[in-house]
Amino acid sequence: MSTEGARLTGRTIAILMESDYVEPELHYYQRRFAEEGAKVEFLTRLWGQPSITFHGHEYQQPFTVDGDLEAVDAERLASFDALIVPSGMVSDRLRYTEDVKELSPAVKLLRDAFARPEVLKGIICHGLWLAAPIPEVVRGRRLTCHNNLIGDARNMGAVYTDQDVVVDGDLVTGRSAGHCHLFARMLIDLVAARTAPRRPALPGPRRPAEAVRSLTADAAPAPVAAPVRAPAPAAVAAPAAAPAPAAPEGAYRPDFTFSDLVAGYVTDYDADRGDLGLRTSDGRTVRARVGPTTTAEFLRNLGHPYVDAGAHLADLLVPGRHVFAHGIYYSEHGGHTFEAKRLVFVGRRVGEYEFADPNWWVDQLKELARFYRRAQFGEGEIDYADYRTVLRLGGDKTDSHVQETDTISRLIYGMSSAYMLTGDEDFLEVAERGTAYLRDHMRFVDRDEDVVYWYHGIEVNGDSERKLFTSEFGDDYDAIPMYEQIYALAGPTQLYRITGDRRIASDIDGTLRLIKRFFRDDDKGGYFSHIDPILLSPHHESLGPNRARKNWNSVGDHAPAYLFNLYLATGDEAHRAMLEECFDLIAEHMPEAGSPFVQERFHADWTPDRSWFWQQNRAVVGHNLKIAWNLMRMMSVTAKDGYRELAERIGRTMPEFGSDRQRGGWYDVVERTRAEGEGVHRFVWHDRKAWWQQEQAILAYQILAGHSGDGEFLRHAREAAAFYNAYFLDHDEGGVFFNVLADGTPYLVGNERFKGSHSMSMYHTAELCFLATVYERLLIDAEPLTLHFKPRPDGFADRTLRVAPDALPAGRVRLEWVEIDGRPYSAFDAAALTVKLPDSEHAVTVRAHLAPVEGGRTRG
Amino acid sequence: MSFSATMRLDDDVATIRLTGDLDARSAPEFNELVNEATGLQVNRMVLIMDELAYMSSAGLRCLVFAHQKMPPGRDLVLVGARPEVVETIKLTGFDRSVLIEQSTEA
């Protein structure tokens, strides 16, 4: 790809100078950077003189320098795009210090430059000597240098890399003067890639100037070369210092058209020229063309009509507005022109979001519940005999008549949650019948052990059914996985909150006895991930790689799937203690220095298992977010500084490593550590985005924002919810998509085309709607919330109905009024969020109206 | 009472006669035997249970697991099971999956 010239207009390259310089090298820089339009400044220590003339190493050529490096103050340093320490004896001379307790001025300047990520440091050949007095600036970083200095580099703690040019973030190194052209070329590419002038960011994005990169004019979005990486938060110092990318040989740029998505905040818009400026979540700028074939719409909910926005673009494209732009990149003029084809506005006014409407998530849940009701049972009688786990994209059924326990349980969860928010008894009926069906068909009552376990599912053949006792999934084959027993409880427990049905309580208790007797590791704590089907042992050899293992799910999934809800329904100290134990284990064993991601799999003694099947040493982004979210819920049950610190640390760290800050949305599975030469954590299989991981991000950042009032967390909650609502809702068929491509296009292939699969069936989608409503209204927007319950007369112990919708910070929410069977009712405790139920012959309908407490926010 | 199980193969029918107590201690042995039968991909597995005095949940788990491993549509027949054994089976819903017959003559 040809260089178009003058790519560095307005840029400044500073080069240190002294005697014994390498003539061809310095002359090359002088011409090459100037050729690109850059201003080249030569600096040296002038020793009080107006200028000094140096002589070259080989031919004694004179070179006069009048730039005083001691006169470079912070502001001037900040104006340099790059500072180069050249080859030859220049660096050796410049490190001379007359006061042995002081660093030389040139070394100080270099140290100051290293403190500024926006100033590239270019060090070539013997230039590395200048870093010797300040080895901390290169410690742990990849670099190259003259062969004679390899030992010196290693002594400084640097990672010597056998390449002609090495880029480690803001440090560019070259092997020898003979490679000065490659070295210069890399610096030019890197500086050019950061064309946008440095300026203050919009209020939204954090760390704006540290990573400014434009996608237009003269830099491509693909890795021309590594952009300067912003320094990682202290908590993840290790990964930040890990090897960054080397420049690929003959850096490749896409010189073809392609389509992509940009999520950003409008910085400016020239309606006459159709020229739009956007700033991404991480503060990078993008210019987009808006033309007559650009369509525009407002974000819409499931069941809502398309609302066109095309007629009002000039009014809508005002600074600060959050917008998605999907369009086409044209490779031309040495860079790319981005022409937006479809704009999605996430709110009617700047700073407004459609989904912050109090009814947004409620309406969405109603639509989801109707979709699944219709798909599974049609419009008439609710009969689970014809329930199917596999539903096609449009909700229709296939020939497979498998009924998996966990998909029915998830449907029950969703329908129960829909009832709680809407009071629609049809949804409650679906939940009730599903729970009865689980009891009759999926439950193994083990009288000998006095425990209950749940079949993986059944295959229905007319009147007979084949019990699928052990898991049919590859990960868990021939075993009883903890995960499936956990999720078997998700739906019935959510229903139990509403009805207090003693049959449900009895099955939950039986399953908890199974969990505590057979899955629990009484010795080292936690819960094993699998037990064998005959002896119910986690140590049986038939378990193979699942023998004596623990994982994120077996330890961490109790809390979100059923345990919080069970505690909310009962207030039972035993459940609280189990929650605390699980979170203590998470906080103790899962975070790990050396990776921004938690460790997810373990041997019995909690040593990491990095060889398991697909997981290896890989991170599921959503599990990290799920930990943050649930730790914050736990803060309202039993507060510990360690919980909040870990949750906030994940919340601060994760956007850089797990989210797509160009397009919005959250990724799936990535490598926990970077291999040598990799600047970013690699995607394991693809860069698609799964619906449930978006849920984790939205809830994690909502609750973090709700507890702390931190605007940064709220912004991430908004951005995640914007992407989810813009790209996951299936307006044509109903429901939500399993996966979308990085640019938001639905991925509709194979299992990911289905709507009822084991994970999808109305659990995460409904949990999101339910809890986003709770967090948005009660913790963020100070809006009230009415919930519905239908307790049975023989249900809850002491006839106490607990109506807290989630674990909420003490004192933030009050129960304002209660209605029973449509009439006002006064026997309730406003602060404890409990209702003393009347003595009644039949189930009663309870409406509980919760309201946020004025000024109730504290950092709990 | 000690447990024993013997298997006879006639064409594609495996007939297993059980005697004594099928409990957690004897379950692994029984599991091996039924696994062998399912490995042979028999069309029908018949368990003669009239001399089976007791079947624990562990024994029942072997049966359920074996049935899962049989190809779909093949029959598992339990013959002559005592009422308390049938009761254990019903508690797990497994009666919907197998054919329960009164005696070998049936």
DSSP A151-193: HHHHHTT-EE--SSEEEETTEEEES-GGGHHHHHHHHHHHHHT
Give residue B8's domain range.
4-101
Question: Which of B50, B47, B48 minimizes the C-alpha distance to B64?
Answer: B47
User: Distance between CA A494 and CA A634 in Å, rounded?
Assistant: 18
Residue of A nearest to B61 (CA): A534
Provide the 8-state DSSP code for A563. Answer: I
B106 falls within a domain: no
Contacts of A25 (CB under 8 A, 6+ apart): A86, A87, A88, A124, A177, A180
Phi, psi (5° rounding) for residue A853? -90, 130
Report all structural domains of chain A as residue ranges with CATH numbers, in order of start.
12-192 (3.40.50.880), 360-779 (1.50.10.10), 784-852 (no CATH)
| Cβ–Cβ gap A469/B61 under 8 Å | yes
Can you give the C-alpha Rg of chain B in angstroms? Answer: 12
Contact criterion met (CB below 8 Å) for A208 and A55: no
Q: Which residue of B has its CA nearest to A443?
A: B92
CA dihedral A754, A755, A757, A761 (to 10 degrees): 170
The whole-angstrom separation of Cα A242 and Cα A142 is: 8
Give the model confidence (pLDDT) of A231-260 as tens digits.
Answer: 333 333 333 333 444 445 556 678 899 999
Taking the CA atoms of A833, A836, A838 and A840 in sequence, report the sign of the dihedral they define: positive
| Residues of chain B that touch chain A, judged by Cβ-Cβ distance less than 8 Å | 24, 27-28, 31, 56-58, 61-62, 64-65, 67-68, 72-73, 88, 91-94, 96-97
pLDDT range class, residue B3, cuts 50, 70, 90: very high
Residue written as tokens 């085309």? A753
Q: Is A534 an interface residue toward B (CB < 8 Å)?
A: yes
Inter-chain touch A534–B94, beta carbons under 8 Å: no
Look up residue A482 and give its two tokens: 């903890």
What pLDDT is attached to residue B63?
A: 92
CATH at B38: 3.30.750.24
**Burial class, A650, CB count within 10 angstroms (exposed 0-12 / middle 13-18 / buried 19+):** buried
Q: Strand order of the sheet with strand A813-820?
A: A785-789, A846-852, A813-820, A823-825
Helix axes A764-774, A360-377, angle to 10 degrees: 160
CA–CA distance, A529 with A546 (Å, rounded to integer): 7
Nearest CA to B66 among B1, B16, B12?
B16
CB contact under 8 A, A464 and B94: no
Is A469 in Cβ contact with B73 (below 8 Å)?
no
pLDDT at A758: 61
Q: Which residues of chain A have pLDDT under 70?
A: 1-5, 195-252, 758-759, 855-860
Pairing of strands A52-55, A159-160: unpaired
The label of the residue with tokens 């000094």 reads A52
ipTM tops the 0.90 cut: yes
Ordered strands of the A165-168 beta sheet: A67-68, A39-44, A12-16, A82-85, A120-124, A171-174, A165-168
The secondary structure element, H or E, covering residue A626 is helix A621-635
How many residue pairs bridge chain A and chain B with CB atoms within 8 Å of each other?
64
pLDDT of residue A252: 67
DSSP string, A187-225: HHHHHHTT-SPP-PPPSSSSS-GGG---SSTT--SS-SS
Element (H, E) at A260: strand A258-270
d(CA A170, CA A226): 9
Burial of A531 (0-12, 13-18, 19+ CB in 10 A): buried
Tokens of A416: 């129960």
Q: How far apart are CA A79 and CA A818, in angstroms?
A: 65
- The residue among A443, A467, A506, A518 with the most chain B CBs within 10 A of its CB, best to mutate, is A467
Judge whether B30 lies within some domain: yes
| A468 reaches B (C-beta below 8 A) | yes
Say yes or no: A467 contacts chain B, CB-CB below 8 A.
yes
Rounded to 10 deg, the angle between the B83-90 and B57-69 helix axes is 60
User: What's the pLDDT at B41?
Assistant: 84
Coil, strand or helix at A440? helix
How high is the pLDDT of residue A721?
Answer: 98
Q: What is the pLDDT of residues A118-175, one digit of tens each?
A: 899 999 999 999 999 999 899 888 899 999 999 999 999 898 988 888 888 889 999 9
* pLDDT higher than 80, residue B100: yes
* Model pLDDT for residues A290-321, shown as the tens digit of each residue: 999 999 999 999 999 999 999 889 999 999 99
What is the tens place of the pLDDT at every residue in A509-548? 999 999 999 999 999 999 999 999 999 999 999 999 999 9
- What pLDDT sits at residue A162? 85
Instruction: Determine whether the interchain pair B68/A470 forms a contact, defined as Cβ–Cβ distance below 8 Å.
Output: yes
**What token pair was written down for A763?**
């659990």
Q: Residue A720: which of A650, A661, A632 has the closest Cα?
A: A661
Among candidates A206, A2, A247, which has minimal Cα distance to A122? Answer: A247
Rounded to whole angstroms, the Cα distance separating A538 from A129 reads 58
At A572, is the secondary structure helix, strand, or coil? coil
pLDDT at A28: 86
Contact A491, A549 (CB under 8 A): no
Between the alpha carbon of residue A190 and those of residues A81, A112, A185, A236, A788, the distances in Å are: 10, 20, 9, 25, 59
Going by C-alpha positions, the residue among B23, B21, B47 that lies closest to residue B34 is B47
> What are the pLDDT digits (tens) for B20-46?
999 888 999 999 999 888 888 888 999
Q: Check if A466 contacts B (Cβ < 8 Å).
A: yes
Query: Does the distance separating the beta carbons of B91 and A445 come in below 8 Å?
Result: yes
CA angle A32, A37, A39 (to 5 degrees): 85
Nearest CA in chain B to A437: B93
Give the position of tokens 């909910």: A301
**How many domains are contained in chain B?**
1
